[in-house]
A = this chain, B = another copy of it.
Amino acid sequence: MGITASTTTGTDKLPEGDSESVSPQVVNVADYGVLPNGEDSTLALKAALEASKAKGATRLVFPKGRYEFFPDFADEAYLYASNNDEGLKRIVFPLVGFENLTIDGQGSEFVFHGFVNPFVVEDSSRIAFEDFSVDFSRPFHSEGIIVEEHDDGMDVRIPEEFPFRVRNGLLVFIGGEQEEGMLTTVSRGGVYGSGHLLEFDTEKRQTAYMARDYYFNGTASYPARNLGNGVVRLLIPGLVGTPGNTLVFGPNHRDHPAFVVTRSEDVSFESIVLHHAGGMGILAQLSHNIRVNNCKVTPSHGRMLSTTADATHFVNCTGYIKLTNNLFENQKDDATNIHGIYVQVVEVTEPNEVLVQLKHRQQHGFDFLHSGVKVEFVHGKSMISFGEAVVKESTRINKEFTRVVFERDMPEDLEVGDVLASIRDYPEVTISGNTIRNNRARGMLINSRGRTVVEDNYFHTPGAAILFEGDSFFWFEQGGVRDCVIRNNVFDNCLFGVWGKAVIDVRAGILEDREKSRYNRNIRIENNTFRIFDEVSLLHAYCVDGLIWENNTVEKTDAYPPLDKSFKRFDISYSDNVIIDGEPYVKD
Which residue numbers of A lie inside 8 Å of B, CB to CB? 72-76, 78, 83, 86-88, 90, 153, 167-170, 172, 174, 180-191, 193, 196, 213-224, 235-239, 250, 252, 254, 309, 332-333, 360-362, 397-401, 474
Chain B residues with CB under 8 Å of A191's CB are: 217-219
Complex-state Cα separation, A399 to B182, whole angstroms: 22
Q: How many copies does the complex hold?
A: 2
B218/A172 in contact, CB under 8 A: yes
Option from B76, B169, B183, B215 in Cβ contact (under 8 Å) with A153: B169
| Residue of B90, B185, B224, B333 touching A185 (CB-CB under 8 A) | B333
Q: Are B217 and A183 in contact (CB under 8 A)?
A: yes
Quick check: A193 and B218 within 8 Å, CB to CB? Answer: yes
Q: 5 smallest A-B Cβ distances: which pairs?
A: A191-B218, A223-B223, A76-B398, A169-B223, A183-B215
Q: In the bound complex, what is the Cα–Cα distance between A9 and B239 (angstroms)?
A: 62
Instruction: Name the residue of chain B whose CB is nearest to the CB of A235.
Output: B169
Expressed in whole angstroms, the minimum distance between the Cβ of A150 and any Cβ of chain B is 12
List 9 additional A-B contacts (Cβ < 8 Å) besides A78-B88, A185-B333, A219-B219: A168-B216, A168-B236, A168-B237, A172-B218, A188-B217, A191-B219, A218-B221, A223-B223, A223-B224
* In the bound complex, CA of A90 to CA of B72 (Å): 28
Q: Of B73, B221, B309, B361, which contacts A219 at CB under 8 A?
A: B221
B401 and A73 contact, CB distance less than 8 A: yes
Partner of A78, one of B78, B184, B190: B78
Interfacial chain B residues near A73, Cβ < 8 Å: 397-398, 401
27 residue pairs bridging A and B, Cβ less than 8 Å apart: A72-B401, A73-B397, A73-B401, A74-B398, A75-B398, A76-B399, A78-B78, A87-B88, A168-B214, A168-B237, A169-B222, A169-B237, A170-B219, A170-B223, A172-B217, A172-B218, A181-B474, A185-B196, A185-B250, A185-B332, A186-B361, A189-B218, A191-B217, A220-B220, A223-B223, A223-B224, A223-B235
Which residues from chain B contact A224 at a C-beta distance below 8 Å?
Answer: 223
Give A218's nearest chain B residue, CB to CB: B191
**A252 nearest CB neighbor, chain B only:** B188
Q: Is the CB of A88 within 8 A of B399?
A: yes
Q: Contacts A88-B399, A191-B219, A218-B221; is A362 near B74 (CB within 8 Å)?
A: no
Complex CA–CA separation, A525 to B75 (angstroms): 50
Across the interface, name the chain B residue whose C-beta is closest to A188: B218
Kindly provide the distance from the CB of A343 to the nearest chain B CB, expressed in whole angstroms.
14
* Cα–Cα distance between A238 and B166 once the two chains are bound (Å): 14
When distances are taken between beta carbons in the complex, the residues of chain B under 8 Å from A168 are 214, 216, 223, 236-239
Chain B residue, CB-CB nearest to A473:
B181
Please measure, in the bound complex, the distance between the C-alpha atom of A360 and the C-alpha atom of B187, giving whole angstroms. Answer: 10
CB neighbours of A190 from chain B (8 A) = 218
B189 touches A236 (CB 8 A): no
A361 to chain B, nearest CB (A): 7
CA distance A216 to B169 in the complex (A): 10
